[in-house]
Structures are given as structure tokens and as C-alpha cells.
A and B are shown apart, each in its own frame.
Chain A
């Protein structure tokens, strides 16, 4: 069990200025491929500024959802709006997209490739060239600018692809598993960049199945399963809703309080250290009073449930 700190909510002036109260809103979106329902009646709303985590097991419909927001595929029914307007081609230039699988022309030189991507998003050649230099410096790619993409390692290609996605300074950045393939040092650089962009008012949609990243980076999440949103909203609120059901107690003395069935559902006793799972509806404060009455307490900590626990719990239930 690890104690987790929820990241502070990022409220930035830029985000408020961008006008709309939501960056992206999906309501009742549905997408089927033949018989198979990829996304069924999905609704979610992403507030501007901050990092939003799109979670779910493999095949839950994350990629289909992202593709619909990117306008690559069209939903069968439902509405998608961005920045308060119905999704249209005109919005695409304000989107940055990093697909899960690398999508680069292998034979192109890094510099030419980034210029091409930047220009496609509406930048002038000169503007794109200046921007890509400063990005490449940050990601230590300057020496590779005139190399072909195929000469780069997977991690470096990933960085090139990331730069391509953000070169035009988009308002909405959609990243599908952005950390896979990066070594720890580069993952830190990327994390810093993402947090920096979120603070400056950009909306970042992060799709991943790595819970630890989501817990540390995201302010809000949507957990998708079978194409439905099973959990959606502020991460802190979700955790609170799921309750603080685990208590770690370091004690010395009488362990009778563990037998109180009204409060304790189960426990794992290590002698003078115990992990307690609270009974439904039980209040941790009551247990504290009871325990301190009979034993000396060195530590009494109410544990936040980890996202992973919530995930397994929710996905398990929705599959049952």
C-alpha cells in the first residue's frame, strides 16, 4: 500500500480566458464496427487546462474514442463538441495528436519531417523551423536533425513524433501512451513538458493503462470499460467517493479493537502492525477512538485507495 498524493488542481488564467467551460465534450457517443460495439453511449467532459486521463483495459474503446475526437472516424450517433462548438475540420489545427503506434515516414530526414508536419498544421516554413530547433534542443535531438527517421532509436522516434504533435502549439493535445518506449530520463523530460503545458492552460488528454502515471499526473479521469464510462470526473472526488476503506495501524498493547465486527471487515495482523479493511459504512474515527482506548498507537493512517484498486474493483464489477 502506498500513500498517494492527489496532484493539486491546476487553475490557470489562460484556461479561463479560453472561454468555453469545457474543452471537449462527448455526449451519448456510439461507434460500432459491424457487429462489434467499440464505444457505447459514452459521455465525458474535459475541462480546459490540466491533464485528463483516459483509462481502461485493452480494447475498452480508448483508441476509438480518441479517433472520434480527432475526427478520423465519425461516431454512429451522439455529439462531440470542442471549445464549445460542434467538432469540425477547422478545429484540427488546434489539436495535437500522438498516436499509440509510431507514425513517421522512415526515409525522411528528421528536420524535413517536422517541417512537413508543422506546415500541415498551418505553420509557415520559417516559423516551423525556428520552433522545431528549440524543441529539439530540449529533447537533445539537435544532432539528429539531418538523420533519417529510420536511423533513430525507437525512443528518439517517439520524441520526434511528440515534437511533431505539439510544434503548432495546439490548445488540445491528445497523447496515446506517450511514455512507452522512453527511458526514465526522457520520461522525466516528457512529464515535465506535459505538466508545463497543462499549467500554461493547454488541455491534455492522456490515454494509458498505467495507473501510477495517471495518479501522479491527472486531475480528472474517465475509466472506460466495454465502451462505457464507468467512472468519470475529478480524481480526488472519485477516490473520496470510493471511500477511505483501509487503515494502517502501528500499535503496542491490546488488539481487541480488531474484533469489532461493526467496524472491521477484515485485517492482516503483523504483531504490532496491522492493515485493516473497514466494514461498509464504518467511520475510521470510531476505530481510532476504540484502538487508542486500549493500546498505544504509534501510527494511525487512513489510506487512500489506489487507482489500481478502484480500477480492478470497477472493472471486475462491470464484467460480472
Chain B
């Protein structure tokens, strides 16, 4: 116990004291934020205002369409998607300049085509009476139109036509508006006897963020464990260590020490994220939907730790059976495959958390850290399943640690054998001379 503690302490302190740990811990959240925010900023900033021309046979109709377009924002109507909160909910007048052109001639068409090519305008909507009669209008532009923009244009045009047709039948604009109001379906999930609003968009985000944390941390710290096993082997300090502590003590101290470094880092990140992001997040309507209950947090900590232990033990084994880092990285795919498979299984887990395939997969120790955790967030599985997956996971980790500690020792032997064979040949020559 004392030896494990000493080795744990050394691993932890030596890592936490390095400059690279400090830099990574402090800068990583900043870099992540920049990486997440920049593409969205570029998408809106880069293009500026779009210049659009509506070509129509009757100017009045064109103006009505323009008015309709300007009053309806370009957005999907899934309000639960927090991703759309920033980019797509801008007002149309900030995004578009719309002009009405009342000469739908072939000559005008070629003029507009040239303007598009010359970047004078960004596109034009061919909205002649003929086109309307065939209920098919055409949008010309340099770039392929996004799905959201296409339905935005289509809906605006249909709305104007419907209103015109209704008013021709003597219905007032206000009445028409009321009639045309679309019906929205609000999803309500029933969880443990209580109603929970929302379609689970925030929850989806939560799963993705937490799973990415597990995934990245396992890879990052697993490789770190592998490197440190290799270092001890090649520097031969392993011989001194094995003369003082058992290989199981060494392995346990190392895994826990590196794991504690990872937890420290994640804790710092969570605190940083809390300080920076909570005030702005709290005002978001989806915030209350996040499953940050103590139970889910505990599940995260538990599955994170066990997942880390499982995979880093495998990394330590690879470190013990190889002699260089290159060799080690070639064998790494053995570890990455189950991790990637777990990530692929996330969508089925979120859609059908009760299906037999999902239940069985989430019980297998190599997938459990990600899949069982995801199931707990989506829809709490029966207690026996959680306990069974935990028991299997703990058993596998314990078995792997014992196995790996043995391989650790054999690893030293492999080194010794390789080193001595050429020496024997040399010695034979020397003895004969």
C-alpha cells in the first residue's frame, strides 16, 4: 500500500509540476473555444449581406414576397437545437438586401446572370406568373443553396400566394394569418413519473461533450501511461523499482497517478467553464434541460475513471511488450477500435436506449464506459443493468491489471534476452582466441 502511494505521488507530482501540464491545462479550453466559435463566426462574417433580386411579372406581388421574407427569419423551426441559437436566428435585414425587378424578359435574365457571375448580386429568384402557375419557382445563384434557405424562400412564396387566394375569397389578412399559422408539436418526455420538456437537444449535446471528454482523456492519458512504462523499461529504472516494489504495486501506482492528473485537469476545465460560461448559459431556455443532477455527475465520474483504468491498463500492457514508442503506436489500434465503435453506437443509444442490441453492447466492459453512461443520461436503465455493467467493468479492470503486471515482468525478460544473445556470440569468439 505504502509503495503504491509513493509511486502514485511521484507520478502525480512529477506530471503536475511540468510546464507543459500548466500550459495545456490553461490553454486547452481557450483553444477549444476558438475552434468551436470561429467556424460559426466565419460563416456569418465572411459573406456580409447577400444581394438578392426577385424577378416577377407584377411588382406588387414581388414587394409582398419581399415583405414576407423580411419578417420570417431563416431558421429551422426546431427551437430545441441550441446550435441554431447563435448563427441562424439573425434578422433577415441584417443578412439580405432584396430588390424587386419587374421585367421578366430573356434579356433581363442574361443581364442578371452576368451580374451573378460578376459578384454584383448573389442570386435571383425567377418568380414569373408562368412559374407560379406551374407551382415551381427557380433560384439562380453561384452557390448551392442551403436547405434552410430553400424552405425559407419556398414558404414565403407559398404564404403570399395562399394569402392572396384567401383574400380573393373575402377573408381578411388577419383571419388568413390565423388560418395559416402552422401547428407545432412540442415533445414532452415522461421520466420517473415527471414531465420533462424539450426534445433532448441539450441532452444530446451533453452526451457528446462528456463522451468526447472520456474519449480524449483515455487516448491522451493512455498514451502517457504507455510512454512512461516504456521509459522505465528502456532506462532500466524498472530493475531498481522491481527490487523495491511488486509489479502490481508499480502498475497500480502509475495508473492511479496518471489518472489523478487527468481528473485534476478536467476538474480545472470544468471550473473554468463554469466561471466563464454559466452566466451566459443560465439565460438559455435549454439550460434547465441539462441533466447535471448529482446522480449523472457521479455516473460520469465512475464510468470515466473505470474507462480510463480499463484502457490505460491496455496501454500499459502495450508499453510492456514493445521496446520503442513506434512499435507501441502500431499496436494502438487494438485499443482505439472499441473506443471508436462505442462512439458509433451513440446514435442508436440515443434513439432506442431500450433495444436489445444497445442493452447488450452497454454491458460489455469495453463499451460500457461510453454506452452505459450515455444510456444513463438518455433514459435511466434498470438498476440491475447498471450494477451488472459496473461489476463486469471492475472485474475486467482488476483482471487486466493483474495480467498486465505479469507481462510487465516478462517485458523486462524480453529485454534481457535480446541484450544477451549477441553478447554470447561475442564471448564465444573471445574464449576461442
List the interface of chain A (C-beta within 8 A of B): 33-34, 36, 38, 57-60, 63-64, 67, 70-73, 89, 92-93, 95, 97, 99, 101-108, 112, 116-117, 119-122, 161, 164-165, 315-316, 319
B243 and A72 within 8 A (CB): yes
Q: How many angstroms between the C-alpha atoms of A116 and B253 in the bound complex?
A: 13
Task: Find residues 388-433 in chain B having any chain A CB closer than 8 Å to their own CB.
Answer: 409, 412-413, 416-417, 420-421, 423-424, 426-428, 430-432
A119 to B7, CA, bound (A): 10
For A73, the chain B residues whose CB sits under 8 A away are 409, 412-413, 416
**Chain B residues with CB under 8 A of A60:** 427
Is B6 part of the contact surface with A, judged by Cβ < 8 Å?
A: yes
Name the segment of B130-138, B232-240, B286-294 touching the other chain: B232-240
| B413–A101 touching, CB < 8 Å | no
28 A-B contact pairs sorted by A residue (CB < 8 Å): A36-B424, A38-B420, A57-B427, A57-B430, A64-B416, A70-B243, A72-B239, A73-B412, A73-B413, A89-B246, A92-B243, A93-B244, A101-B236, A102-B235, A103-B235, A103-B238, A104-B237, A106-B235, A107-B14, A120-B241, A120-B244, A120-B245, A121-B244, A122-B2, A161-B240, A164-B240, A315-B431, A319-B432
Q: Is B242 an interface residue (CB 8 A)?
A: yes
Among the interface residues B237, B242, B245, which one has the most CB atoms of the partner chain A within 10 A?
B237
| Whole-angstrom distance between the Cβ of A90 and the nearest chain B Cβ | 12
Q: Cβ of B423 and Cβ of A67 under 8 Å apart?
A: no
Does B416 lie within 8 Å of A67, measured CB to CB? yes
- A59 contact set on B, CB distance < 8 A: 420-421, 423-424, 426-427
Q: How far is the CB of B245 from chain A (nearest CB, A)?
A: 6
Chain B residues with Cβ below 8 Å from A319 are: 428, 431-432
Could you tell me the distance in whole angstroms from the C-beta of B22 to the nearest C-beta in chain A?
15
The 7 A-B pairs with the shortest beta carbon distances in the complex, nearest first, are A103-B237, A59-B423, A59-B424, A120-B244, A103-B236, A319-B431, A58-B423
Name the CB-closest residue of A to B15: A107
Residues in B with CB closer than 8 Å to A33 are 413, 416-417
Write the nearest CB–CB distance from A80 to chain B, whole angstroms: 14
Given A58-B426, A319-B431: A99 touches B240 (CB 8 Å cut-off): yes
Q: How far is the CB of B406 from chain A (nearest CB, A)?
A: 11
Apart from the given pairs A64-B420, A99-B236, A107-B18, 17 other A-B contacts in the complex at a CB distance below 8 Å: A36-B424, A58-B423, A58-B424, A59-B423, A59-B426, A67-B239, A72-B239, A73-B412, A95-B243, A101-B236, A103-B239, A103-B240, A104-B235, A105-B231, A116-B6, A315-B431, A319-B431
How far apart are A205's CB and chain B's nearest CB, in angstroms?
13
Considering the complex, give the chain B residue whose CB is closest to the CB of A60.
B427
Q: For A72, give its contact among B14, B242, B430 (CB under 8 Å).
A: B242
B49 interfacial by beta-carbon distance below 8 Å:
no
Contact A117 B424 (CB under 8 A): no
Query: Which residues 217-254 of B have a CB within 8 angstroms of A?
Result: 231, 235-246
Q: Quick one: closest B residue to A34, CB to CB?
A: B417
- Closest-by-CB residue of B relative to A161 is B240
Inter-chain CA distance A191–B417, complex, in Å, is 31
A106 to B232, CA, bound (A): 10
Query: By the criterion CB–CB under 8 Å, are A63 and B243 in contact?
Result: no
A120 touches B6 (CB 8 A): yes
Q: Does B51 sit within 8 A of A, measured CB to CB? A: no
Contacting residues, chain B, for A64 (C-beta < 8 A): 416, 420
> With a CB–CB cut-off of 8 A, which chain B residues contact A95?
243
Q: How far is the CB of A125 from chain B (nearest CB, A)?
A: 10
| Majority SS at the chain B contact face | helix
* A14–B246 CA distance with the chains assembled, in angstroms: 30
The closest CB in chain A to the CB of B247 belongs to A72
B243: chain A residues at CB < 8 Å are 70-72, 92, 95, 97
- What is the distance, in angstroms, from B426's C-beta to the closest C-beta of chain A? 6
Report if B10 contacts A (CB, 8 A): yes
Residues of A within 8 A of B236 (CB): 99, 101-103
Decide yes or no whether B199 CB sits under 8 A from chain A.
no
Min C-beta distance of B267 to chain A, whole Å:
24
User: A120 touching B431 by the CB < 8 A rule?
Assistant: no
Q: Which of B3, B416, B421 has the most CB of A within 10 A?
A: B416
Given contacts A59-B424, A59-B426, A105-B14, contact A36 B417 (CB under 8 A): yes
The residue in A63, A103, A319 that gathers the most chain B C-beta atoms within 10 A of its C-beta is: A103
Chain A proximity mask over B6-31: 1 for CB below 8 Å, otherwise 0: 11001000100010000000000000
The answer on a CB contact under 8 Å between B239 and A97 is yes
Q: How far is the CA of A63 from the CA of B3 in the complex (A)?
A: 25
Which of chain B's residues 297-321 have a Cβ closer than 8 Å to chain A? none
Give the distance in Å from the alpha carbon of A121 to the alpha carbon of B244 in the complex.
Answer: 6
Whether A99 lies near B421 (C-beta < 8 A) is no
Task: For the complex formed, measure the closest distance between the CB of A129 and the CB atoms of chain B, giving whole angstroms.
Answer: 15
Q: Write out the residue numbers on chain B whose beta carbons fall within 8 Å of the beta carbon of A108.
A: 10, 14
Interchain CB contact (< 8 A) of A63 among B2, B237, B416, B430? B416
Give the contacting residue for B427; candidates A58, A63, A103, A122; CB below 8 A: A58
Q: A85 CA to B81 CA in the complex, in Å?
A: 72
Residues of B contacting A117 with CB < 8 Å?
Answer: 240, 244
**A319–B421 alpha-carbon span in the complex (Å):** 17
Bound state CA distance, A117 and B240, in angstroms? Answer: 9
Chain A residue, CB-CB nearest to B9: A116
- Closest partner residue, chain A, to B424 (CB atom): A59
Chain A neighbourhood of B241, CB < 8 A: 120
Q: In this complex, what residue of A is CB-closest to B246? A: A89
A121–B18 Cα distance when bound, in Å, is 26
Contacts of B6 in A (CB 8 A): 116, 119-120
Whether B239 lies near A99 (C-beta < 8 A) is: yes
Residues in B whose Cβ lies below 8 Å from that of A89: 246
Instruction: Known A72-B242, A315-B431; judge A120-B3 contact (CB<8 A).
Output: yes
- Residues on the A chain within 8 Å of B18, using CB: 107
* Closest beta carbon of chain A to B180's beta carbon, Å: 71
Please name all residues of chain A whose beta carbon is closer than 8 Å to the beta carbon of B242 when the two chains form the complex.
70-72
Question: Is there an interface contact between A116 and B10, defined as CB atoms closer than 8 Å?
Answer: yes
Q: A57-B427, A73-B413, A108-B14 are in contact. Are A36 and B421 (CB under 8 A)?
A: yes
Nearest CB of A to B16, in Å: 13
Query: A104: nearest residue on chain B (CB-CB)?
Result: B237
Min C-beta distance of B66 to chain A, whole Å? 68
Query: With a CB–CB cut-off of 8 A, which chain B residues contact A165?
Result: 240
CB distance B244 to A92 under 8 Å? Answer: yes
Give the complex CA separation of A105 and B232 in angstroms: 8
CA distance A117 to B6 in the complex (A): 9
Q: CA separation between A57 and B433, bound complex, in Å?
A: 13
Across the interface, name the chain B residue whose C-beta is closest to A73. Answer: B413
> Which residue of the partner chain A has the closest CB to B426?
A58
User: Which of B240, B245, B424 is A97 in contact with, Cβ under 8 Å?
Assistant: B240
Shortest B2–chain A CB gap in Å is 8
Min distance, Cβ A124 to any Cβ of chain B, angstroms: 11
